[in-house]
Amino acid sequence: MIIGVLNQKGGVGKTTIAINLAGVYAKSGQRVLFIDADPQGSALAWSAAREAEPLFAVVGMAKPTLHKELPDMAADYDVVIIDGAPRVSELARSAILASDIVIIPVQPSPYDVWAAAETVRLVEEARQIRENLQSVFVVNRKIVNTALARAVYAALANFSGTISDVSLCQRVAYAESAMNGQVVLETAPRSEAAREITRLARSIAAQLTTKAQAA
């Protein structure tokens, strides 16, 4: 299972989502490989800040040949998470081609919705080569019971791709865990943040399993 987390707009929380998803799968006993394909290297910096034993391997591969090199690396792992690059189409394209499913994080903001169109275009291009490639929008940093949160779902319905029924709310637990190179399942395992990222991880795995069974 190879999961890409991408949006051509920066600052949407993709690295936070990617790292915490990897944490969920690793905590469940699966072998996880994390690919930092963003030249900014945020996930590598997160890993360097960690003092505890690693939950999963983190490798920097901000390369347009990622989709060609990853299959051999992925063979020894149950789950691969790719933290893709914003704004660099050739890197994003390679990360998308390497993925089985692409998570597109979108904040409840019109700017994020507009920017998602470019990521959707790249996914649709990749489907010319990988026809079974899946994509799913995940609303991130949602503020509950706001008109803006409701409006973003309506706007995303105009794009191709699934909209996840699991959203991630604005929570300080994600930032607090990241400061020490940890995930929320370590620092706040009974928090709402831990529960919602676990639900998202299970939802993504279930979507891939359902698609595989239908094929």
pLDDT cut 90: percent of the chain above it: 60
DSSP string computed for 134-203: EEEEEE-SB-TT-HHHHHHHHHHTTSSSEE-S---B--HHHHHHHTTT--HHHH-TTSHHHHHHHHHHHH
Per-residue buried b or exposed e for 25-63, using 16+ beta carbons within 10 Å of the residue's own CB: bbbeeeebbbbbbbeebbbbebbeeeeeeebbbbebbbb
Hey, what are 73's tokens?
A: 């690396």
d(CA 87, CA 206) in angstroms, rounded, equals 30
73-104 per-position pLDDT tens digit: 999 999 999 998 877 688 989 999 999 999 99
pLDDT for position 88? 67
**Parallel/antiparallel/unpaired status of strands 134-139 and 162-163:** parallel
- The band of 33, judged by pLDDT with boundaries at 50, 70 and 90, is very high
| Residue entry with tokens 């939802």 | 203
8 A C-beta contact, residue 27 and residue 20:
no
The structural domains of the chain, with segments of one domain joined by +, span 2-214
DSSP 31: -
Of 171, 173, 96, 88, the residue nearest 132 (C-alpha): 96
pTM, two decimals, is 0.91
The domain covering 2-214 belongs, at the CATH homologous superfamily level, to: P-loop containing nucleotide triphosphate hydrolases (3.40.50.300)
Residue 145 has pLDDT above 70, yes or no: no
d(CA 86, CA 12) in angstroms, rounded, equals 10
Largest CA distance in the chain: 46
Average pLDDT over residues 24-38: 96
149-208 per-position pLDDT tens digit: 677 888 888 887 788 889 898 899 999 999 989 999 999 999 999 999 999 999 999 988
Alpha-helical regions (H) of 31-99? 42-48, 66-74, 89-98
